[in-house]
Structure 1
């Protein structure tokens, strides 16, 4: 197979990111016609469609394979430019997937040094947020080059590093406990107690109840709050029982705004960093992995 045109691969990556031809063209500073021509040339070379021209646009399985290659090629170009002391192309950005709770607690401090340096050197870092059980899918599909995940096994062509364990505890406000749980949370009242849920992928509340009361597949009264920060604020305001990272709720517990329910019960979530293995001295992706590992070590122990 002949070598792929880097410009066409950039178009494919832009289409995946922007999910449309107009925005992809704007990002690359070319015409929509040029985007279409480069994509058609790439599809002709591969011999099969790479995108489903829907709204929003979607990649085919073949498109996802080439997207992984496009992401890796972009990352290598960034590394080469940095080593040569050249300004990185303005559209260059390296995407990694993280879970919302890690983003709300330890990821930003861990990456701050690299991001500040990126502002000077020109490269960008894109954080893609998903549930920790699903970030691995973004890596597999080529949407990102690295991810924080609960999956321990590395994909072929990737390497994995243990980051630490994030402990989740159940909390509620003192007023909520006084009004709704005067006898505490127990097997007889959890089904009538509102539980805060991040989104429909989030099952940490059911896991906590199962562990606390020995109930399989408990049915809960759910109140959805799809933001880590707002989730904790909702618990402080008395919207219901939340199951959140201990490091995130600790300040609220220390000042008496939240109470830990059944402190002996908690969910320990092991986190791992996955990344594609790229060649190169001082690769930026390697530096991101090292920064995340150090940040997790300091925050999670």
Structure 2
């Protein structure tokens, strides 16, 4: 098997992660022509095109495999750093940008339980990068080799990966107290949901529709929607009277308790199952990530 140039592999990863040759050159502190040269050299060695020169740039299937290989090399370096810190703390070198360990986590998990889970690892020196996406799409980052693990709603293991159930995130429909009293005095019903605006994360967010369909036994609904691309931002928009939003119950527990928000969808609660997928490799770093997420999820999420 051919031995691939680590610098060329990191160059490929930088092009994909940064979304272009110029930004990749800036990150690697080399010229843009050197980036192109390294990529051409790697493509010549592999024997096929690795990057589709489109807007945005995309890795070809072969490029995705090489990108995954680059990420595996990062994981090996992270494992080595982990072992060195245990054996000889003063021997570990400084953190480099290309040593980052990437995971994909949905925004609602980031806003509630995932960051506290990862804090001890980060404080211990793990150079982590969190990529956020909807829980129905985070597994695509893993499938394409851009991350080594993901939190997703997909309950089927991906090829070459192992799967671990985490729990179910409970979602509730909430609105600011004044908005709820003026607009939904009787709460959200199958007869009034179409009249009020729902605050969704983005156009990929189906939670608002799923909640209404499940709560009122409807096959399909059309909602008036506003978009705020942050979990905490959705809550702030609801507090400001923009409308109602379906968000994780842990995120709004305090605001519900002190009356700033009202659970207009009560008693309905919508549960989204979450799973941790990661590469099926022997790795201390992966084991630590898995254990941290598993422990935190058990405390914060409902059982599946």
TM-score by length of 2: 0.93
Q: Report what 1:294 is aligned to.
A: 295
Are the equivalent residues in 2 in contact too, given 1:81–1:88 (CA < 8 A)? Answer: no
Residue 143 (structure 1) shift: 1.2
Residue of 74, 78, 96 corresponding to 1:90: 96
Q: In the aligned structure 2, how far is the partner of 1:34 from the partner of 1:81? A: 28
Structure 1 residues 82 and 6, CA, compared in 2 at 3 Å: closer, same or farther?
same
Residue 84 (structure 1) shift: 2.8
Residue 240 (structure 1) shift: 0.9
Q: Report what 2:63 is aligned to.
A: 63
Q: In the aligned structure 2, how far is the partner of 1:211 from the partner of 1:21? A: 46
Q: In the aligned structure 1, how far is the partner of 2:258 from the partner of 2:36? A: 58
Residue 55 (structure 1) shift: 4.0
Deviations 1:91-148 (A, max 9, x none): 2101100000000011111111111111xxxx41100000000000000001111100
Q: In the aligned structure 1, how far is the partner of 2:205 from the partner of 2:17? A: 25
Residue of 221, 224, 230 corresponding to 1:221: 224
> How many residue pairs end up in the alignment?
295
Are the equivalent residues in 1 in contact too, given 2:82–2:285 (CA < 8 A)? Answer: no
Structure 1 residues 183 and 89, CA, compared in 2 at 3 Å: closer, same or farther?
closer
Q: Report what 1:153 is aligned to.
A: 156
Deviations 1:56-97 (A, max 9, x none): 322112111111111011111221133234225512101100
Matched, 1:51 2:51: yes
**Where do 1:161-240 residues align within 5 Å?**
161-240=164-243
Worse-superposed segment, 56-65 or 79-88: 79-88
Q: Report what 1:106 is aligned to.
A: 113
Query: What are structure 2's unaligned runs of at least 5 residues?
Result: 86-91
Q: In the aligned structure 1, how far is the partner of 2:260 from the partner of 2:267? A: 20
Are the equivalent residues in 1 in contact too, given 2:180–2:264 (CA < 8 A)? Answer: no
Residue 24 (structure 1) shift: 1.3
Are the equivalent residues in 2 in contact too, given 1:76–1:278 (CA < 8 A)? Answer: no
Residue 3 (structure 1) shift: 2.1
Are the equivalent residues in 2 in contact too, given 1:236–1:257 (CA < 8 A)? Answer: yes
Q: In the aligned structure 1, how far is the partner of 2:108 from the partner of 2:95? A: 31
Q: In the aligned structure 1, how far is the partner of 2:265 from the partner of 2:2? A: 62
Q: Report what 1:144 is aligned to.
A: 147
CA RMSD of aligned residues (A): 1.5
Residue of 204, 228, 249 corresponding to 2:252: 249
Q: In the aligned structure 2, how far is the partner of 1:133 from the partner of 1:293? A: 19
Q: In the aligned structure 2, how far is the partner of 1:137 from the partner of 1:55? A: 19
Q: In the aligned structure 1, how far is the partner of 2:250 from the partner of 2:300? A: 8
Q: In the aligned structure 1, how far is the partner of 2:191 from the partner of 2:301? A: 34
Structure 1 residues 235 and 271, CA, compared in 2 at 3 Å: closer, same or farther?
same
Residue 160 (structure 1) shift: 1.0
Secondary structure of the residue aligned to 1:84 is: helix
Secondary structure of the residue aligned to 1:249 is: helix
Q: Report what 2:88 is aligned to.
A: none
Residue 245 (structure 1) shift: 0.6
Residue 232 (structure 1) shift: 0.6
